[in-house]
Structure 1
Amino acid sequence: MIEYLQKNSGEIIAALGQHIYISAIAAIIAIIIAVPLAIIMIDHPKGGEFVSQVAGVIQTIPSLAILGLLIPFVGIGTLPAIIALVLYAIMPIFQNSYSGLTNIDPILIEAADAFGVSKRFKLFRVQLPLALPMIVSGIRIAVVLIIGTTTLAALIGGGGLGTYILVGIQTNNDNALVVGAVLSAILALLANGLIKLLGKVSLKRIVIGVATLLILFGGYTVGSKLIAQRTQTITIAGKMGGEPEVLINMYKDLIEEDNPNVKVQLKSNFGGTSFLFKALKSGKIDIYPEFTGTVMQSLVKTSDSVSHNPQKSYQEAKQLLKQQFDMTYLKPMKYENDYALAIRTADAKKYNLKTLSDLQKLSSNFNAAFDPDFYQQADGYPGLKMTYGIEFASVKTMEPSLRYEALADNKIDVTDAYTTDPQLRQYALTTLKDDQSFFPPYQGAPLMKASFAKKNPKVVKSLNKLAGKITTKDMQEMNYQVSVKHRKASIVAKEYLLKHNLIEK
């Protein structure tokens, strides 16, 4: 752990800063919305009840669903994360503020009215000071909720401590997982204590403090955008796992080596196929690595059967992406990251299982767990089930790295795998032969909008350096280094590029 902290201290501090930034902005906006709304509703009980119910309904919606719904409208990164967090934080702040303001002893209100004070005087000198403990309590609840939920911002490229939690899960790296989880918990405790102290400060000073924070954060945001405008920024995203992270780091190094005025922004562990493809279509990301089999089975519409010839499959995928979505699919790498079903080697020997047809005869006795993408895509479990007639005793979805652990620990019996996955080697698992040739070829290549490719020919040229490169053995080894040895994907990617003279030292 000490060694991990020493090697990654700069990045951890940056992630902590991102987490604080997102949380603080969301909390301040939620306060600005919820508290005035509660004040407006003091004399409108029906309206106050309606707002409480709406805020309560919003909180029942899963946070990941809200993030997914926001992407087509506001893109990826910190903005959708902040909007989602604000929506979640409004309810506790509003409810506590409204309760505090409407449950003040009527005698005190009558006394204020008897003195003939103005509504403004009564609000700021009587009602708000008396309701302040309840308001602060609601803010404390909301801030702790925000800090915990901000970890999900990493799923849409928002950064923060959630990045380390995702990396820890995907690469089975306990150090990263502990760093992300513990720092989030500590941050929540510190924020809770700080707000508790603020409860003893006068209302005037709190307002001044909030206004100061808004000015500082506004200046930081504007300054960051002005700096970013000086260079072209390209956003590259990757799916969950170590292999996509290696690939997008290669893309970054190749582009920045050949294009000094271009800054590449990486969004690793960004999500599943449909998530990424929607983000690319809406222009929220510029490039991501996709595989020919997934394109043909899940992204494009075609009445023809998918070719099992790698070159023909790629040409068909390229043509259909251009026709249907006006996208450019660059030349693929050499290796094929094919789907397979993996079982424990002991079970393969015990039941003499060598092919997927062999598995079909015994599938009703086995429990399976699949990656969410594999579980729902046509080129995954649904199509496999129809082709082979496989019916498992139970099927559940599980994060990629966790399903391998579950298989090794005898919690499940079958899982999906990629032929380049390092866990096959790590846990000594056996993959079953696709004897009916269901799975199409899976060659990876950069996918982008045609307009982007036309506008950035130098970027296309840089990425085409990977065409025909990287063997299956190469990718297996790089995956092993990232997911098992817990080396940084950026370092592993750069080592490959340097070794094969694709970039200069």
Structure 2
Amino acid sequence: MENLLETFNERQGDLWSELLNHLGISIFSLLIAMLIAIPLAIWVVRYPRVAEVGLQIAGILQTIPSLALLGLLIPLVGIGTTPAIIALVIYALLPIFQNTYLGISEIDPAIEEAADAFGMSKMRKLFKVELPMARPAIVSGIRTAMVLIIGTATLAALIGAGGLGTFILLGIDRNDMPLIIIGTVSAALLSIILSSFIRWFERAKLRHSIIGLVILIVLLGGGGIYSAYANRQQTVTIAGKLGSEPEILINMYKELIEDEDPDIKVELKPNFGKTTFLYNAVKNDQIDIYPEFTGTVLETLIEDDSIDTQGLSEEETYKQAKEQLQQQDQLTLLEPMSYNNAYALAVKDDFKKEHQLETISDLASIQSEIKAGMTLEFIDREDGLRGIEDLYDLDFETSSMEPALRYQAIDDGRVNLIDAYSTDSELRQYHLSILEDDKGLFPKYQGAPLMTTEFAHDNPQVVEALDKLGDKITEEEMQEMNYEVNVEDESAAEVAHDYLSENGLLEEEK
């Protein structure tokens, strides 16, 4: 509890900012969904067959996994708030459309006939009879949609839209339970408060309901949307994948750029998400720079399947990655850093000693005893589990896990083999040893800033600033910095600044 309160006090400012952002995105999405679903449901009441088709389509859209939907939207509309709002609107359509349609279509026909007998026009009958009678059902649909939106909006953090999901994703990645609790409880409380507020509309007069809804949207939703869209200025936007290491690197990028040219404003988007999200974002000019790895470029991002990374030196891997990026997407990969953050297989120190393990090949003698926990990305890669099974002729039980959870699993004894990166702080934290890749499966993974060739050409001062990191940072230094952030709870910005200062990379520090 003490740790939770301490984290809450430290993160109050960030929590308030992300809460408003989450609220703005959610209310704006709900408003759009209502403007689409309610009029459409009113129109199709007289056309039951069309209504059935509409319900089927809305139902199908809601079955699309949220992460997949966000991934599909990025190439079309980019990253940030826009794809998040589109996805949330899609998920909110079904409950609002369905409840509005059922609420009006199930009104007693005798009441409809009485309204016609009084000579009411269609519009007058709609507002005086049908909507008031259907209002409980409509409000119920809106409440369901709002709860759904609040929960789903946590994934918006994966594509740079912010919100309370930032706390949850960061907590999962760093195995920081207080962050997860703060994000989860805040989202739950927000859902309860808004659900209760919407329930008030069910009892209030229709005119008062409409006025109250407008006020809610303007006062609460307006602030979040305004912060998302207004006051934006020309900046260099740098994003990073999930984890402490990318966050440290992008903070280094920020300091180097602003130190080189104080007139440049740098905006950071840490814990942005998956590799493909970032790659599409930089291609579509949604971000300007992000740290990528040479091996990832050749294994994941380049479409040429004929490239073989096995046996390539660090220099050859970088040269291939740089040339292929330029040819395929007109992207530029700057000079890489020294350390090689390669894939690895890791076991507990005592397990290694007990079974006399030194190399991956040594696993062949105990593969029946192996219970592996690995990330889904590693399992599905040719330079991951697939390659290990083929090159080393191994076959063992494997479960897919989120990156942070696999370390907890091996520490608890639920698994005894995991995939890792050679600079992970958890190797030191959980007393793990890396097995030597004695057949040379894993490519070289040197980190380097990735940007469009056009951006590099137009911003030579940025390139000059970032090139200062070329051939800097050893594996030991990177692992130590990760340890300071993940285990000793130092901020990534402070760790980044300390390294740059101690190594004389900032002009003001020299």
TM bracket, shorter-chain basis: over 0.9
Between the aligned partners of 1:36 and 1:88, the Cα distance in structure 2 is 17
> Is 2:250–2:291's contact at 8 Å kept on the other side of the alignment?
yes
Measured after TM superposition, the shift of residue 58 of structure 1 is 1.1
CA drift at 1:212: 4.6
Give the whole-Å Cα distance in 1 for the aligned partners of 2:376 and 2:161: 22
Pick the aligned partner of 2:211 from 205, 208, 212.
208
SS of equivalent to 1:172: coil
Q: What corresponds to 1:401 in structure 2?
A: 404
1:128 aligns with 131
- Aligned pair 1:452/2:463, yes or no? no
* Structure 2: unaligned runs, 5 residues or longer: none
Trace 1:158-173 onto structure 2 (pairs within 5 A).
Answer: 158-173=161-176
**Equivalent residue for 1:267?**
269
Cα offsets for 1:80-131 (capped at 9, x unmatched): 1111010001101111111111111222111111111111110001100111
Mean Cα deviation higher: 434-443 or 129-138? 434-443
Shift of 1:423: 0.7
Aligned partner of 2:113 among 96, 103, 110: 110
| Partners of 1:22 and 1:376 in 2: CA distance | 34
Once the two structures are superposed, residues 18-50 of structure 1 have per-residue CA deviations (whole angstroms, 9 ceiling, x without a partner) of 110111111111111111111111111111111
Moved more, 463-472 or 356-365: 356-365
Contact 2:290/2:451 (CA < 8 Å) preserved in 1? Answer: yes
| Superposition deviation, residue 385 in structure 1 | 2.0
1:441 to 444, 456, 460: 444
Question: Could you say what secondary structure the match of 1:134 adopts?
Answer: helix
Aligned residue number for residue 258 of structure 1: 260
1:460 to partner: Cα distance: 1.0
Counterpart amino acid of residue 64 in structure 1? L
Give the Cα–Cα distance (whole angstroms) in 2 for the partners of residues 296 and 111 of structure 1. Answer: 72
**1:195 pairs with 2:198:** yes
| 3-state DSSP of counterpart to 2:265 | strand
Please give the residue correspondences for 1:14-93 in structure 2 after superposition, counting only pairs within 5 Å: 14-93=17-96
Q: CA deviation at 1:396?
A: 2.5
CA distance in 2, matches of 1:117, 1:305: 76
TM-score where L is the length of structure 1: 0.95
* Cα distance in 2 between the residues matched to 1:74 and 1:448: 19
Q: 1:177 to 1:214 in 2, by over 3 A?
A: closer
Q: Distance in 2 between matches of 1:74 and 1:227?
A: 20
* Worse overlay, 362-371 or 464-473: 362-371
Aligned to 1:490: 493
1:135-146 alignment to 2 at 5 Å?
A: 135-146=138-149
Structure 2 letter corresponding to 1:267:
K
Q: Which residue among 148, 151, 161 is the counterpart of 1:148?
A: 151
User: Structure 2: which amino acid aligns with 1:251?
Assistant: Y
**How far, CA to CA, are the matches of 2:52 and 2:201 in structure 1?**
28
Aligned residue pairs, count: 502
Deviation at 1:283, TM superposition (A): 2.6
Amino acid at match of 1:274: T
Match of 2:354 among 342, 350, 353: 350
Query: Is the counterpart of residue 228 in structure 1 residue 242 in structure 2?
Result: no
Query: Per-residue deviation at 1:191?
Result: 0.7
Residue of structure 2 aligned with 1:376, choices 370, 377, 380: 380
Q: 1:243 is matched with which residue?
A: 245
Paired with 1:298 and 1:53, the residues of 2 have a C-alpha distance of 36
Q: 1:364 to 1:451 in 2, by over 3 A?
A: farther
Q: SS at the partner of 2:356?
A: coil
SS at match of 1:468: coil
Which sits farther off after the overlay, 241-250 or 138-147? 241-250
Q: Which runs of no fewer than 5 residues in structure 1 stay unpaired?
A: none
> Helix, strand or coil: the match of 1:199?
helix
- What is the RMSD computed on CA atoms of the aligned residues? 1.9
Going from structure 1 to structure 2, the CA distance change for 1:286 and 1:13 (only over 3 Å counts) comes to same
TM-score, normalising length: structure 2:
0.94
Q: CA deviation at 1:154?
A: 0.6
Query: CA–CA distance in 2 between the matches of 1:361 and 1:275?
Result: 40
Q: In the TM superposition, what is the alpha-carbon distance from 1:316 to its structure 2 partner?
A: 2.3
Quick check: 1:331 aligned with 2:348? no
- Identity in percent: 50
Q: Report deviation, 1:426.
A: 0.8
Decide which of 464, 483, 500 is 1:461's aligned counterpart. 464
Q: Encode CA deviations 1:129-179: one digit per residue, 9 max, x unaligned.
A: 111111111111110110011100011111000000011000111111111
The one-letter amino acid paired with 2:446 is Q
Aligned to 2:347, the other structure's residue is in SS state strand
SS of 2:203's partner is coil
**Contact preservation (8 Å) 1:37, 1:94:** yes
